[in-house]
Amino acid sequence: MRSTPADRTPVYALVGNPNCGKSTIFNALTGLKQKVGNYPGVTVEKKIGEMFSQHGKPIKLIDLPGAYSLAARSPDEAVTRDVLLGRRADTPQPDRILCIVDASNLERNLYLLHQILDLGRPVIVVLNMMDLAAAAGTEVSASRLEKELGIPVIACEAVNNLGVIELKLAMSRTESPLAKHSWDVPAAIAPAVAEIQASLIQNDGRPPLVARAEALLLLTDFDSVRVAGSTALHPKTSETLRSWQTRWEADGTDWAGTLVGSRYDSIATICGQVVRQVGETGPSLSDKIDTVVVHPVWGWLAFGAVMAVMFLSIFTLAEYPMNVIDGATAALADAVKDAMPAGDLRDLIADGAIGGVGGILVFLPQILILFFFIGLLESTGYMARAAFIMDRLMSKVGLNGKSFIPLLGSYACAIPGIMATRTIEDPKDRLVTILVAPLMSCSARLPVYLLLIAALLPSDAVPVATKVGIMLLMYALGTIGAFGFAWLFKRTLLKGEPPLMIMELPPYRLPRVRDVALQMLERASIFIKRAGTIILGISIVLWFLSTYPKHPDPTATPTEQTAHSFAGRAGHLIEPTIKPLGFDWRIGIGLITSFAAREVFVSSMGVVFGVEGAEDEDTAPLRDALKKASWPDGAPVFTPLVCFTLMIFYVFAMQCMATVAVVKRETNSWRWPLFQIAYMTGTAWVLSFIVYQGGRALGF
């Protein structure tokens, strides 16, 4: 037995294979009491939550990245390994471990549990997805498994909220039994385990059981994956490890295979005691659905239908809440104008702050719909199928289907998409995926597309299908661009053979609305924080730059005032560079400011054209102001061709400081983010030039 001091908050680590329901259980236990960040020095997500025991005492939970084994093959698995082994100074070693096990795939899931039990820490096993095991005709006895291991085993169906109360009761106990876990290390390997264990105790300061577990891991994978923040091995331990490796290589001993085989022998014995087949085995419901969803033809049609429904929803379902937000923002700006005397301070608050942020918040419903669909695809199990059907196409460009999941996630935001590349084992494939991920049209581009589509097709009589078609075209162009550059990079800068994809297809599940809603709220809060900080700050700075210095003529028009301002001078400075694309100095202001965040382009145009600052109640909305903008000779600026060209520019340009920072942190170098800015912005300029000048030559 091991107990936690009464005056100390116990810390549980949640571990488990991918797709075992770990996140669902974490959400069920913690609810909204969650904080999400990154482990220092590495872009692996760090989720910490809090719950209260049945006695009202707080319990801290750390949701560790999913892993099939503690023998790490990727950065996220390395973080899980290092936290459990106590290697990270930023995350103390957990007091207890909550191991989530998929009952329908018990033998595979027990491999990770088998390694965790070596650590000698108190463990509670959650036997999740019991309903799926029963549906497959498999009976798994939680009581027999508990007897075999000597630790609490809780049968659970997390998606149906069954077993959660029993789990909380088990976690509330102040004392936790240690596992009756013993397995015979093969005789040929035992001396090496003992010697490395002794070095880890003496030179690395590890407790005896942890040292034994770490010695077994070192002999399995030789510590191949290390991440920032991980404590390095003592040189004497490394030398001992290399010495045994050299000796075994000389006599042909397969030490890693011997250890893995021995573990599976032990696991097979356990499964023989707790698993019984009670029904006929045959194709499951998931298998039957997959005959259509991953079919070489029907699978593509299904994928296209899902994307079309998503974008149709963005245009139709979001209209009412957008109007509500737009009206509330306008009412707030009017209230400020009525309450304050005319002057720069009033204009700053009403036009710079409220107008700038309101111009972005109005797109929140559409962004929430995008995140809702992505969460739905993940929770139902379809996301893995999308990667599977994309594998053949991805292999043509030198990657595999695993790279498509980060790319698909980049439709929402390139930052989590880039973070998701940590599951890609091959370093070159991971780097290529990072380099092309920002080409996928993220949600920050959505406000820009919507504004320009509205200016391109201003009539309310334009069919929604036409607007959806243009939106799909922008997303398709970004996707084609990502694949094209991936093909180029894999044959030039980062040559390598496309790896084979081995991926588990999780069973289909009905989506858990609470989990999808939590994900939406989390992403919405991030977006609103950006609107309330970065975009608010930029809007105020832009208002200042477009207002000062004042034009010497007090009767000057708003356009003349903007042209005379600091912002206007900056726009005029870059106008010769962008004029061949059909862009004037006002668009140039938007391009400069949107490097901080692409969606700032919308609020920039609102400030530059003074839409929110107009006193006349009949002032046209921003899209109509764009249509009225003209060159000095009277020719319109925002022609359909210019709107289309500007969308092309935003598809390919690298305009997001946050993404640049994440790429720098992920690659640990400025070389790749600077290269990314250069190749993406250069491509955007060249393609925009071709589209605009080609369109003019054709008479558009």
Residues 541-565: tens digit of each pLDDT: 767 877 788 878 877 766 677 778 8
What is the torsional sign of CA 618, 623, 625, 628?
negative
**Three-state secondary-structure class, residue 527:** helix
pLDDT of residue 412: 67
Task: Please name the residues in contact with 307: beta carbons below 8 A apart, sequence gap of 6 or more.
Answer: 472, 475
Q: Coil, strand, or helix at residue 594?
A: coil
DSSP per residue, 286-351: HHHHHHHHTSTTHHHHHHHHHHHHHHHHHHHTTHHHHHHHHHHHHHHHHHHHHHS-SSHHHHIIII
> Which amino acid is located at 518 in the chain?
L
Q: Is the peptide bond before 447 cis (omega within 30 degrees of 0)?
A: no
pLDDT in tens, 349-377: 777 677 667 666 766 776 777 778 877 88
Q: Which among 594, 225, 662 has a CA at the least distance from the CA of 406?
A: 662
Distances, alpha carbon 507 to alpha carbons 14, 388, 409, in Å: 21, 14, 20
Rounded average pLDDT per 10-residue block, the chain, 700 residues: 63 88 86 57 68 84 86 78 81 88 88 86 90 84 89 88 88 76 76 87 84 80 54 82 83 78 86 81 72 82 81 72 80 84 78 68 72 78 77 76 74 71 76 90 80 74 73 88 90 72 68 76 70 66 77 74 79 90 88 74 74 40 77 84 91 81 78 92 94 90
Residue 184 C-beta-side C-alpha neighbours within 13 Å: 5
Tokens of 71: 């023998």
Strand segments (E) across 242-283: 275-277
Map out the domains of the chain with their CATH numbers: 1-281 (3.40.50.300), 283-700 (no CATH)
Cα–Cα nearest to 401, from 316, 483, 521: 483
Q: How many CA atoms lie within 13 A of 262 on its CB side?
A: 18
What is the predicted pLDDT for the residue at 689?
95
How far, in Å, CA of 515 to CA of 372, rounded? 10
Residue 128 phi, psi dihedral angles, 5° rounding:
-90, 165
Tell me what pLDDT residue 344 has: 75
DSSP string, 669-687: SSHHHHHHHHHHHHHHHHH
Predicted pLDDT at 462: 60
What is the identity of the amino acid at 665? Answer: R
- Give the pLDDT confidence score for residue 618 in this predicted structure: 32
